[in-house]
Chain A
């Protein structure tokens, strides 16, 4: 065990920090769930790509930097420390890209990855359907083979960023006689094809962070299929592993929030200590963020030595989503009667971001596989309990 950064890693951190100090916008961008904000965030992705920072773990040939996971963690720590903009293309860069690298053809990698790295193509996910949420194997949206095309009909829902995104990746039923997780295929498609209707869905904060997508005989070339026909479930599970496992929520995010929470508590301490449970919650928050960082480093080091991400990916998802809730609930309790103020309220000052974070934290235990589904996975695959 050696918990020190190498000279090279320290130099890398300095380089990241210097670039971010030069380039992170001084004014926060508008929300990427608004049209203008989306455009601002797309431009930021382009700027990151200009410095080769948009996808640091990818190979250089497709727009990355060839970083290992420790360097990725360092990059992320600096990124959150600098309060840099949220990543509008995270579904593509962190979730689709690892899958594409594992299952895609050379042609597909060359076609999709560089444009993803620059933000020219922003990606949305197409998993959930009205009848297929936690039970994802109940997917019905069909893709019928017609020559060298699939003809897609049906509906996807809760598709994050889909209102303004360019492309979608998801699972479709290519074998009409199949059931459950058989007969599903992983398909990539541009969202401007004829026959696609996108209906924005307003979220808790009033913005349109996700959308329903209707497909009416949408023709997609077979070359847009990832891996074999019928292999979609296996491919999708790999994506889900990345999502829950490591890359969706890097620890820097929570450490930065924990630090802000400690500051917030100290500013309000005189009033707040009348409720000692708040001080305790702040303490728990900081310890939780540290634990999450340590667990992630441990996983990264095991992967570097040839290990695999297994069901512990599910423990991660439960842990960070519950931690995020704890931190934002605690912030709301500290802010007291002002916590409800909208960010643009004249007397809100800079506290509005806590409300934003609080609302978003509510979704954490639901998206990327509900925490109940994660507990089933842990119980069955990690602890070996019998299936229901």
Chain B
């Protein structure tokens, strides 16, 4: 039993954190908002230089071959710095899906090396999400159709843009026609693959929400230490302290839930899907609580465009329903705990 990360994993996380601290300052994110694509080629290239795009591409295709636990650490950082890029859709989800396609599919050879070296963007369309993120920039779209997996070029789809309150999100309605030519896996294989994608995507969102929750808490702490009223920093008042302490509690108890989910997913444990849904619920609750409390601590400043809080807060709000809303994930947990014969109670924690 060892519920800690390996030193190597933490070292990689720390390196990414240092890099993002410099390269993804809030002013820079605002500049990227103003561009039409909402994405920065430069930032993407730098992220690839850090090795993030190669993280879960197998070594035979030019990657590093790491997995779900490594991504949980990296996704926390991507959340903390609100990186305006659907990086993990390509480098985590699409890489995972492509790797598991039947071995004769030429797609693997064509795309996995490009994911690893950071030159490909792949968008993913799954029915749990009404829209596809970053479809406009995608070199390839991996789309669900009746549990089949289809690989579709961008010129084969019709896109309509749906602006989100979160300026970094680029959401598209995708219209396309499935055909034998686009099908890369039949439903009998695809069903399990899509389940795997969904679980990893929900896990990725959970980890990002943890990062966002921490960032909004940190912003609240900074503000309450600097802002003075009645001649004192407002952070010295108990009413303010307790708001932020409650957020710290929620984050502290969401983290190990997310880490368990990652471990169980990586090791194909029978309860992995339930643990992922639990993780998503816990992390989203922490993130929303952090948004609300940090906003309250910021006072009227928190309601402005100027305050940086907005970019993290809006991301946290938007991600709440990404890859399954709360109803979806609660249903998965409920179906498990209320099913006849489910073993609950002490000693069942790590199944």
A in complex with B: yes
Pull 19 A–B residue pairs with CB atoms less than 8 Å apart, ordered by A.
A13-B347, A74-B347, A78-B346, A255-B349, A262-B337, A262-B338, A283-B330, A286-B337, A286-B344, A287-B257, A290-B349, A315-B253, A319-B252, A376-B242, A378-B248, A379-B242, A383-B241, A385-B225, A388-B238
Q: Is A280 an interface residue (CB 8 A)?
A: yes
Q: Is A277 an interface residue (CB 8 A)?
A: no
Determine if A1 and B238 form an interchain contact, defined as CB atoms under 8 angstroms apart: no
Determine if A262 and B344 form an interchain contact, defined as CB atoms under 8 angstroms apart: yes
Q: Min CB distance, B321 to chain A, in Å?
A: 17
Q: A372-B242, A383-B245 are in contact. Are A302 and B4 (CB under 8 A)?
A: yes
Give the CA-CA distance A283 to B232 in the complex, in Å. 42
- Tell me the chain B residues, 251-270 only, with Cβ under 8 Å from chain A: 252-257, 259-260, 263-264
Determine if A315 and B256 form an interchain contact, defined as CB atoms under 8 angstroms apart: no
Which one of B3, B246, B257, B345 lies within 8 Å of A301 (CB-CB)?
Answer: B3
Give the CA-CA distance A131 to B330 in the complex, in Å. 47
Give the CA-CA distance A294 to B256 in the complex, in Å. 6
Q: Min CB distance, B44 to chain A, in Å?
A: 29
Give the CA-CA distance A379 to B255 in the complex, in Å. 19
Most buried by A among B255, B278, B337: B337
Determine if A301 and B334 form an interchain contact, defined as CB atoms under 8 angstroms apart: no
Give the CA-CA distance A256 to B343 in the complex, in Å. 11
- Tell me the chain A residues, 329-388 only, with Cβ under 8 Å from chain B: 372, 374-376, 378-380, 382-388
Which one of B1, B233, B242, B246 lies within 8 Å of A3 (CB-CB)?
Answer: B1
Which one of A80, A279, A293, A298 lies within 8 Å of B334 (CB-CB)?
Answer: A279
Give the CA-CA distance A380 to B248 in the complex, in Å. 12
Determine if A1 and B259 form an interchain contact, defined as CB atoms under 8 angstroms apart: yes
Interface residues of A (CB under 8 A from B): 1-6, 9, 13, 70, 74, 76-78, 80-81, 251-252, 255-256, 258-259, 262, 265-266, 279-280, 282-283, 286-288, 290-295, 297-298, 300-302, 305, 312, 315, 318-319, 372, 374-376, 378-380, 382-388
Determine if B256 and A388 form an interchain contact, defined as CB atoms under 8 angstroms apart: no
Given known contacts A286-B333, A290-B349, what 6 new A-B pairs fall within 8 Å (CB)?
Answer: A3-B2, A4-B1, A13-B347, A265-B338, A319-B249, A319-B253
Give the CA-CA distance A80 to B333 in the complex, in Å. 24
The size class of the interface chain B forms with chain A is 35 or more
Determine if A297 and B349 form an interchain contact, defined as CB atoms under 8 angstroms apart: yes
Q: A77-B347, A256-B346, A258-B344 are in contact. Are A386 and B333 (CB under 8 A)?
A: no
Give the CA-CA distance A312 to B248 in the complex, in Å. 9
Determine if B334 and A375 form an interchain contact, defined as CB atoms under 8 angstroms apart: no
Give the CA-CA distance A384 to B225 in the complex, in Å. 9
B residues in contact with A266, CB < 8 Å: 338
Determine if B249 and A318 form an interchain contact, defined as CB atoms under 8 angstroms apart: yes
Q: Is B281 an interface residue (CB 8 A)?
A: yes
Closest Cβ neighbor of B267 among chain A residues:
A3
Determine if A378 and B249 form an interchain contact, defined as CB atoms under 8 angstroms apart: yes
Determine if A386 and B235 form an interchain contact, defined as CB atoms under 8 angstroms apart: yes
Contact flags B123-164 to A (C-beta < 8 A → 1, else 0)? 000000000000000000000000000000000000000000
Determine if B347 and A301 form an interchain contact, defined as CB atoms under 8 angstroms apart: no
Q: Min CB distance, A255 to chain B, in Å?
A: 4
Q: Is B37 an interface residue (CB 8 A)?
A: no
Q: A1-B3, A77-B346, A81-B346 are in contact. Are A291 and B282 (CB under 8 A)?
A: yes
Q: Is B198 an interface residue (CB 8 A)?
A: no
Most buried by B among A291, A305, A385: A385
Contact flags B47-89 to A (C-beta < 8 A → 1, else 0)? 0000000000000000000000100000000000000000000
Q: Is B187 an interface residue (CB 8 A)?
A: no
Q: Min CB distance, B110 to chain A, in Å?
A: 34
Determine if B334 and A283 form an interchain contact, defined as CB atoms under 8 angstroms apart: yes
Give the CA-CA distance A387 to B225 in the complex, in Å. 10
Q: Is B6 an interface residue (CB 8 A)?
A: yes
Give the CA-CA distance A229 to B330 in the complex, in Å. 55
B residues in contact with A318, CB < 8 Å: 245, 249
Q: Is B221 an interface residue (CB 8 A)?
A: yes
B residues in contact with A279, CB < 8 Å: 334
Determine if A386 and B344 form an interchain contact, defined as CB atoms under 8 angstroms apart: no
Give the CA-CA distance A297 to B256 in the complex, in Å. 9
Give the CA-CA distance A308 to B334 in the complex, in Å. 36
Give the CA-CA distance A302 to B232 in the complex, in Å. 37
Determine if B242 and A283 form an interchain contact, defined as CB atoms under 8 angstroms apart: no
Which one of A290, A295, A301, A374 lies within 8 Å of B2 (CB-CB)?
Answer: A301
Contact flags B294-338 to A (C-beta < 8 A → 1, else 0)? 000000000000000000000000000000000000100110011
Give the CA-CA distance A266 to B334 in the complex, in Å. 12
Most buried by A among B217, B236, B237: B236
B residues in contact with A2, CB < 8 Å: 1-2
